[in-house]
Amino acid sequence: MTDRLNDFVTRTRAAMAASDSGPLIVARDVMAIADNWERYKEEAGGLDCSRFLTSTFGAGRGLAYFANRVEAVAFIGESARRTLHHQVAIYILNNVSKEFVAEVLSALTRERKKNGGNALSPAQAKPVIEAITGTKQRAYRTCSKCVKLEAELAKLRGEVTVEAAE
């Protein structure tokens, strides 16, 4: 790898590790390199762009990973690039309609200030987002063995359940 590509990788890794919004900050730069990949392909040992990114930044961090973050910033707005956790931005892109984006960002900003200025984790942000959009968190699935055990426990406690009544 040449100095030019090596410098890019070093800067990108540092930015991604510096904060939870790091992937949002560097995504546009990564996509600019991807758009001109033919100029860098030889320097990268002939690897295609996505394989290079995955081998450099780790599993799951290929071209689609960065493209999704660019799309999220385009959907949410440039102001969110440095203030949102990158997974929260993806959650908003996939789950919030455009009509709610401004209200969601306002609420997340208020909560971020309460959180000492730190970006909210996905677990902290989802209830805030869902309160605004009116969606509910999905219930966790229960395996069939657990359902049977819960029915047995209910029976032992003397509770009536649907399965016990059948």
Return d(Cα 70, Cα 86) in angstroms, integer: 10
Pull the structure tokens for residue 147.
């359902």
Domain extent listing, the chain? 3-133, 140-166
> Would you state the pLDDT for residue 140?
60
3-state secondary structure of 90: helix
In a 3-state reduction of DSSP, which class is residue 114?
helix
Residues contacting residue 92 through CB under 8 Å, at least 6 positions apart: 72, 75, 76, 84, 101, 104, 129
Separation of alpha carbons 149 and 98, rounded Å = 43
Q: What is the pLDDT of residues 69-96, one digit of tens each?
A: 999 999 999 988 889 999 999 999 999 9
Q: Which residues of the chain have pLDDT under 70?
A: 1, 136-141, 159-166
- The model's pTM is 0.77
Q: 119-145: b or e for each residue (b if 16 or more CB lie within 10 Å)? A: bbeeebbbebbbebbeeeeeeeeeeee
